[in-house]
Amino acid sequence: MKTLAIVKKADGEVRRISAFQAYREERFQGKRHVYFSIYYPDEEMTLVYLKNTKTAFFRYKKGSNFAVSKNNSPDNGEGESSIHYIAKEALSRLTKLTLVSSQTTITAFVSGKATVEKRFDLENKTYFADVYFNLERTEPKEYRYRWYDQIALEICITHKVELEKAADFEKNIIPLFEVTLPKKTCEKFDLDKAKSEYSDNEIESRIVNMQKMFEKQIFGCFLSNPFSMEYLEMQRYKSEIDKFKSKRDEIYDIVKNLEQIVEPLGIRVADIAQRVEPLDVKTIDITQRIESLDAKVADIEQRAEYLSTGGTGLCQGQENLLFENDHSILDQEKLFKTKCSCTELQYGENTSVGKKDTKRGVLVRLSNWIKRVLEK
């Protein structure tokens, strides 16, 4: 049984269609199509709908070379059930995917419109994914880079995805999430099997209700959860950044501890500086006094040296001063003697002898006195 076919329009456009979608368009919308095989585009197919199981599928027309074989394509199976179609349509209308797998929850925001029955040619094989999304962003954001902004969803009702298909998706870095629908969920949203007839509104109503359920959470598991090369490189850089941040935080802690130690020391240093400032003034005053005392000591030392050496050790200025003092003393002595001589002269004039030889005697005595002075 084939669940997919293609429809060729008059303008040459080719549209892929699922079996139950084809049945819905024919039964309720009055559309009639000619269906061809997705694997052999020139081979015409017919649509079959089974009322009792609410299942639709395509099969090759009688007389076709492919009609005798059940294994002539990878699309063999039980056909497309109504619940599978409803789930696929509901998922394709979502704009945000909240994927829950084991202990992991990933939120993916859809970019553009989803593709139903997306074709993949991988490892020389052809696969179809029930719903395919391009992603705008994810939370955590790393998955956007990890998955190359894409994800494919497969719906599991009775048959799980083949391991070979999952492996080929993984190898080609295409994430594949298998959506699990429990039996009770299928019974709640599926068409009433007891009814042979139902309206298109009933189908649409079930699609809308299942969409609301998927908008909350989508439970399942990752069959393919690959790593892009860019993501691995980004993880390496992230690891280096984390190490740097850890080292930086350690340094910050050390600096903080040092600040706590230094802060009280800074207060103490300021207090000491305030105390030292007046001491500096006192030190300058003491220094000036010491310099004055040093000058006096030097002067005393020079005088002592002069006394011990008989004056030979004095400087020229000091010797001149002493010489001047000595001459001053001599001059005073001479003046005293002159006064004495003048007194003698005066005294001589009053004597009887002097009166007899006044002029001559005065001149003789004056001459003798001058000689004595000059000799001294």
Rounded to an integer, the average pLDDT of 121-145 is 93
Highest mean pLDDT among 55-59, 131-135, 158-162, 319-323: 131-135
Lowest mean pLDDT among 31-35, 37-41, 74-78, 209-213: 74-78
Axis-axis angle for helices 200-216, 19-28 (nearest 10): 140
pLDDT of residue 356: 46
Rounded to an integer, the average pLDDT of 320-339 is 54
- Domains of the chain, by residue range, sit at 4-78, 82-227, 230-314, 316-375
Contact assessment for residue 188 and residue 205, using Cβ atoms and an 8 Å cutoff: no
- Rounded Cα–Cα distance for residues 338 and 332 (Å): 10
pLDDT of residue 30: 86
Q: Which of these, 171, 179, 180, 181, lies nearest to 225 by C-alpha position?
A: 171
Contact assessment for residue 317 and residue 299, using Cβ atoms and an 8 Å cutoff: no
- For the cut 60, the answer to whether the pLDDT of residue 195 exceeds it is yes
Neighbours of 224 (CB within 10 A): 23
Q: Which residues of 2-26 are buried (b: 16+ CB within 10 A; e: fewer)?
A: bbbbbbeeeeeeeebbbbbbbbbbe
pLDDT of residue 320: 57
Contacts of 306 (CB under 8 A, 6+ apart): 312, 313, 314, 318
pLDDT of residue 72: 43
pLDDT tens digits for range 14-25: 888 888 888 888
- Rounded Cα–Cα distance for residues 100 and 86 (Å): 20
Rounded to an integer, the average pLDDT of 270-281 is 77
Residue 196 half-sphere exposure toward CB, CA atoms < 13 A = 0
pLDDT of residue 173: 93
- Rounded Cα–Cα distance for residues 226 and 172 (Å): 8
- Rounded Cα–Cα distance for residues 338 and 334 (Å): 6
DSSP state string for 136-189: EEEESTHHHHHTTSEEEEEEESSSPPPHHHHHHHHHTT--EEEEE--HHHHHHH
- For the cut 90, the answer to whether the pLDDT of residue 94 exceeds it is yes
Report H helices in 35-153: 82-92, 142-146
Highest mean pLDDT among 180-184, 228-232, 277-281, 308-312: 180-184
Question: pTM for the full model?
Answer: 0.58
Q: How sure is the predictor about 191, in pLDDT bands with cuts at 50, 70 and 90?
A: confident
Classify strands 218-224 and 96-101 as parallel, antiparallel or unpaired.
parallel
Contact assessment for residue 190 and residue 20, using Cβ atoms and an 8 Å cutoff: no
- For the cut 90, the answer to whether the pLDDT of residue 115 exceeds it is yes
- For the cut 60, the answer to whether the pLDDT of residue 354 exceeds it is no
For tokens 């002029």, the residue is 359
Q: How sure is the predictor about 254, in pLDDT bands with cuts at 50, 70 and 90?
A: confident
What Cα–Cα distance (Å) separates residue 338 from each residue in 175, 200, 329, 335? Answer: 142, 165, 14, 5
Which tokens belong to 368? 């003798």
